[in-house]
Structures are given as C-alpha cells and as structure tokens.
Structure 1
Amino acid sequence: MRISLFPLDVVLFPGTGLPLHIFEDRYKEMIGECMADRTGFGVVRAQQEGLAVIGCTAQIVRVLHHYDDGRLDIFCQGESRFEIQMLENSRDFLEAEVDFFDDEGDVAPRSLREACAALHFETLELAGIEMQTLHLSLDEPISFKLASALPADLGFKQQLLGLRSDVERTHRLLDFYQAILPKLRMGAYAAKASGQNGHVM
C-alpha cells in the first residue's frame, strides 16, 4: 500500500498522541489531501543516516488552529505500524510502498504490566520529569504508552517500535527501568542527605 510520509525527529507509537505544527507548503498540501480523503499519513524517524525503515501511521484527530497563511496546528494519534518497502519521491513530499504489521503471540501478563507501570512512574518522579496525564488500563497492553513517555533516546524507542512481541517489548522496558533506577534512587538519596547536613546561621 502507498502512503504519504512525514519524516520527523520523533518515534510515534500506536495509540499515542502527536501535536504538529504544519508550516511547509509541501506538508500543507499533504495534510490537506489527508483531511479531504480522511486518510492518515506515515510518521518515520528522520535520522542522520537516512529514514528509519519502521514507522507508524498518524490519523488526524482534530485541527487545533488554522492560521490565515495556511499554517495548521493539528493533533494526531498513532494507529498502525508499517515497514517501508520502497520510497517514491515523484511529488513534493515523500510517499512509500509499505507493509503493515501487528504484534505476534501473547500479550504481556498482568503481573509484568503492573511491575512495569510502577517502575515507570517511579522513574519519572525521581528523574524530575513532569508526568503528563497517562491513561493506563492494566487490563490491556501498556507497552506502547509507556514507551512513548519514556525518558530514553530515540534509538531505543525506535527499537521498541519495531519489536513484534508485546511480551518482549514489556520485558525490554522493565530492563530499562531496572538499569536506570538504582542511579536515580542514589541521586535522590544523596540530595536528601545533603539537604539535612548542617544549617545556615
């Protein structure tokens, strides 16, 4: 299937939100077509060495602001993952022939999801990262939502996007939290201890 591509310095996951400011003429044209046809477009990570092969489609949920000069503020939601088979650059914006794919096998058990969610929120709190409202239901897979809010580099997020197993992706998240949390806990303890030493006269 052929879709329009929007290369960005982000990794979009299914079921997660993405606000965008559209100001280039080529992307105004692309978004205009998507809105007229009620179709989505593909978001792929733009890397120094080229485009990532795995991306995620974005569906336009609503237009937040329409400027007089044609610029747009829109809010999109990630939908389906795809793998690029062939790029097509005959238009002002990129298009690609893609194959869509889903996870295979079982989803992560609830006990693993609960452990992952607990470590996620502890990580954000200790890292001093403002927690955006995250609607989690532990009755369903949560790995995409956690990965989207993860304080990690885009390379790791790109790896998570390409995994085709919710169990493996959740385990990778757990490993990430367990690797970073001891340092964060030590830092928080040191800060608290130093705050209790002595006092200013």
Structure 2
Amino acid sequence: MKIPLFPLDVVLFPGAPLPLHIFEDRYKEMVTSCIERQMPFGVVRAQSEGLAVVGCTAQIVTVLQQYADGRMDILCEGGERFEIELLDTSQAYLQAEVDRFLDLGEESSREERAQCTALHLEVMELIGLNDNQASPRNLAIDLDAPVSFTLAWTLPADLNFKQELLVTRSDAERTAKLLAFYNAILPKLRRGAQTSRASGRNGHVM
C-alpha cells in the first residue's frame, strides 16, 4: 500500500485528533489530493536522525477553514499504524510503501485498564491539565475495551516514550509500560503538590 507521508514533530495514535494548519505548497497539494480521493495520509515522527519507521495514518475529518491563498486548517483523526517499507520521492511530497499492522499480543485486563485510567487522571490533576482534552469529562473511556491509545495521546511524556508506545504490538505490554510510567512520576508529583499546599498555608491561621 502506498500513501503520502507527512513528517511531523509529533506521535499520532489511532483514534487521536490531530488539528493541522497546512501552508507549504507541497502539503497543500498532498491534502487536496487526499480530500479528492478520500484517502488518508501517513504521519511519521521527524527525528534528527531521520524518519521514524512506524507511523499512523491520518484520516481528514473536516476542513475547518480554507484561505484565499490555498492554506487550510484541517482536523484529522488517527487511523491505522503502519511500518515504512520503501520511500518514494517522485512527487513534491514524500510517499511510502507501507505495511499496516494491528496488535498481536494479549489485551490488558479490565482491572489494569481501570488502574491505568485512575493513575492517568491523577497525573492530569497534579500537573493542572484538568481543563484540556485530557480532563476526566473530556476523555471517552470504555474499560471494556483497550484504553492505552486513548491515554497515550494525552500523556505528558516525551516523544521517544510515545513512539515506543506506538511501536508496541501488544495492548497488555503497552498498558504495563503506561503503568510503569505513572508509578515512576507520581511520587514526585504528589510531593510537589503537598509542598505547594503546605507553603500556601504559611501565614494563615489554621
């Protein structure tokens, strides 16, 4: 399967929203072609050492705004993961032959999903992101299905870790990596929150 590629400093996950402002001529051409042909393009992380091998397709959901000079604001949604097999530079924009893939390993248990979600929301609370897309009221969580991708795209983590999660081909393994991440950062976040509360009480009559 050959698809256009859009290298970005981002890791896109299946089901995750991706708003984009398209301004380069080559990508205006690419997006216009994708809209006309009703086909997705591939989002791959652009790294200093080159492109990531594994990416995720992006389906254009809607064109939010079209400008007179051809620029456009679009909203996309992550689709399927893929692995790049062969790059094609024959067009103004990059293309690639890719192999799509799904998880092969075991799924996480409902208990693990519930634990992972609870820790995720605690992290969001402690770092003050409750009012964004990662807030409890905005996350659509169904514990009867895998939640690792839903949590991963809102995760306050570096892109190397997010790319590691994208590459992982087992929901159980991906969920375990998320749990390890939360358990590693939460003690520090909790201590920071306690310190802030304590300093906020200084000078006040209890």
The TM-score range, normalised by the shorter chain, is over 0.9
Supply the distance in 2 between the matched residues of 1:194 and 1:109 (Cα, whole angstroms). 40
Q: 2:149 maps to what in 1?
A: 144
**Quick one: distance in 2 between partners of 1:8 and 1:155?**
14
- 2:162: which partner in 1? 157
Residue 22 of structure 1 corresponds to 22
Q: Residue 171 of structure 1: SS of its match in structure 2?
A: helix
**SS of equivalent residue, structure 1 residue 39:** coil
Q: Tell me which residue corresponds to 1:58.
A: 58
Shift of residue 139, structure 1, vs aligned partner: 1.3
* 2:121 match: secondary structure: helix
* Aligned pairs, number: 200
Q: State the partner residue of 1:97.
A: 97
1:173 matched residue in structure 2: 178
CA deviations on 1:168-188 (whole Å, 9 max, x unpaired) are: 000000000000000000000
**Residue of structure 2 equivalent to 1:188:** 193
Q: Structure 1: which amino acid aligns with 2:51?
A: L
Unaligned runs of 5+ in 2: none
In structure 2, the residue matched to 1:72 is: 72
Listed one character per residue, the Cα deviations across residues 131-167 of structure 1 (whole Å, up to 9, x for unaligned) are: 3121111111110010000000000000000000000
Q: Per-residue CA shift, 1:17-63, capped at 9, x if unaligned? A: 10000000000000011001000000000001100000000000011
- Offset of residue 199 of structure 1: 4.4
What RMSD in Å do the two structures reach over aligned CA positions?
Answer: 1.1
- The residue type paired with residue 156 of structure 1 is F
Identity of aligned residues (%): 62
Matching residue of 1:128: 128
Q: Would the aligned equivalents of 1:124 and 1:131 in 2 still touch at CA under 8 Å?
A: no
Q: What SS does the corresponding residue of 1:104 show, helix, strand or coil?
A: coil
1:42 aligns with 2:39: no
What is the distance in 1 between the residues matched to 2:43 and 2:198? 45
Give the Cα separation in 2 of the matches to 1:43 and 1:197: 49
Mapped to 2, the partners of 1:194 and 1:66 lie a distance apart of: 50
Whole-Å separation in 1 of the counterparts to 2:70 and 2:51: 27
- Mapped partners of 1:72, 1:134: distance in 2: 27
Residue identity opposite 1:139 in structure 2: D
Runs of 5+ consecutive residues of structure 1 not aligned to the other structure: none
| Distance in 2 separating the partners of 1:74 and 1:198 | 51
SS at 2:79 equivalent: strand
Report the counterpart of residue 117 of structure 1 in structure 2: 117
